[in-house]
Structure 1
């Protein structure tokens, strides 16, 4: 069964959604690389969701598990979780590795919108 996605969605998970967004969306795409048993990844989730909720209709947030998609992590130079990558029109705009204060993510995302 093929998954269906909508550009009206804000939150996505997995490679299929990521690849679809890269082809279909001209909005900012926030990619959050996570790993199993990563407490910092769990801490970061509500932070990014709050920021994304504040910019509904202007961006997409997609979560990728590094253990399930190691080649995507390598392609983006991701070596640790969590890592957040901002993409627009298939170009990398910014990247933050590790858990940082909410303000740093908010400023990075705001400047990319």
Structure 2
């Protein structure tokens, strides 16, 4: 889940980075973007106070939270870490 806000400059930097990573895992992950201004109650439930914030979940359990903009390799590493092993 990526949390953004309309006035968040770094969110614009993160968008193309995360879009490329999400494309690599099409069919293996679900990606959702939440605008914390439009949906403040969802941001509160996620305990998100700043943007950009990316949260990684599996089976509705929060596994990891990343604040700010990170290199594409960081997001890829976390996805690989939390993806179930394929047999």
TM-superposed deviation, 1:45: 0.8
> What pairs up with 1:1-113 in 2 under 5 angstroms?
31-113=1-83
Deviations 1:42-90 (A, max 9, x none): 1111111111111111011111000011121111111100000111211
Unaligned runs of 5+ in 1: 1-30
* Structure 1 length-normalised TM: 0.69
| Structure with more relative contact order (C-alpha pairs < 8 Å, separation 6 or more) | 2
**Count of residue pairs the alignment pairs up:** 83
Unaligned runs of 5+ in 2: none
* Structure 2 length-normalised TM: 0.88
CA distance, structure 2, for counterparts of residue 112 and residue 49 of structure 1: 18
